[in-house]
Amino acid sequence: MSAIDLDALRKLASLARVRLEDDELRRLAPEFERILEAFGTLARADLGTPAEAPELPAHARADEPLPSLGRDALLAGAPQADEGFFVVPKTIGSAR
């Protein structure tokens, strides 16, 4: 292995909380080296200046209120309702 030593890979595996034996590190080292080379290629690429986003209008349409569903229609799909409200299981401060 040329650029990557086993100690560096062992440290990286430790940081990633991955346990690898020495034979696994030796087997994965060439793959890891190719990954680092690919990142190096990307880092050297001349991407030019980033394209500017097109200017968007301040708003797409007028903000006008629209009719909504009635309470009965909304509650029709609820598993359980009581006095016009959805009934849901208690999740905070439960006796669990």
Distance in angstroms (rounded) separating the CA atoms of residues 28 and 17: 16
pLDDT of 94 > 70? The answer is no
Helix (H) or strand (E) holding 24: helix 22-44
pLDDT of 72 > 70? The answer is yes
pLDDT of 91 > 90? The answer is no
Taking only the tens place, the pLDDT of each residue in 29-58 is 999 999 989 999 988 888 777 778 777 777
Could you tell me which of 8, 53, 54, 15 has the C-alpha nearest to residue 29?
8
pTM here is 0.43
